[in-house]
Homo-oligomer: A and B are copies of this chain.
Amino acid sequence: MTDEAAAFVPGHVTGFFSVHRAGTPAKTGSRGAGVTLADGVTVRVTPAAERTVTLNGRDASVPAVGHVLDALDASASVAASTDLPVGAGFGVSGGMALGTALAANGAFETGHSENELVGLAHEGEVAAGTGLGDVVAQARGGVPIRLDPGAPPHGQLDGVPATGRIEYVSLGELSTADVLAGSTARLSSAGVRALGALRERPTIEGFVRESRRFAEEADLLTPEVESIVTDVVEAGGEASMAMLGHTVFALGHGLTDAGYDATATRVHDAGASLTGT
């Protein structure tokens, strides 16, 4: 056993999605597309007699992290840190679950492959109702297209070949669990349509335009978010809403060009990985 291990997981903003429930958490998931971000979650796992989980120094209750630690039979202290807004559609819970899986496998030398660790984190998210597609996207990096739902080997991914600057403004939390617990038929119909359109022409501008159309069709835009998105588009930019959070993301300088005080990050070209010692 090594003393401790750490992993970095990029943030992930979903632009559009459809919900696909199956008999097992591994086969359950979402189809859709999103963008991974250089702003992400760093997770440090240290063997400890008592299990503790913290986020930015405070005790955190993240069921998916508990699922991963249980599956790896790891008694550990998990310390996560992030600059991302929490509960605002950036995949922080998925990042904590996946980072815990990678780092605990390193610290406890549990001998799993990356696909197996991604599967554990995905199942934890699905079981907790906190996410359906962030983990597999965060494991891949770039601008992931989720062709088929679920963890490896069920889920299949592609990507939009793109990189560059991303901006965001976050207005606060929105409960993924609440939205996913409600009827998702209308949402999923819009998500399937958007996926087909993006696959016809996979560009990052097309991804954001399809995301915006999805948000409208699925009736998920809040008035504040809609107002900001409209301002960016009227200023000549491309923006949409993070699924699921009161967050607007934009390409390039879209938000600053529209007069907003936005946070800048970039497309993260890598998936989640252990950090060097």
Contacts and interface: CB of A to CB of B under 8 A. Distances in A.
Nearest to A163: B274
A161 B106 contact: yes
Instruction: Using C-beta atoms within 8 Å of the partner chain, give the interface range for chain A.
Output: 35 or more
Nearest to A106: B161
A184 interface: no
Nearest to A111: B201
B271 A115 contact: no
A160 B273 CA distance: 10
Interface string A145-177: 100000011001011111111000000000000
Contacts of A106: 161
A240 interface: no
A12 to B, nearest CB: 15
Copies of this polypeptide in the complex:
2
Contacts of A203: 109, 111
Contacts of A266: 276
B202 A158 contact: no
Interface in A40-83: none
A113 B145 contact: yes
Nearest to A101: B161
Contact of A199 (B113, B156, B158, B270): B113
Interface in A111-130: 111-115, 117
A131 interface: no
9 contacts: A106-B161, A109-B203, A112-B202, A114-B158, A115-B159, A142-B271, A142-B273, A165-B276, A270-B271
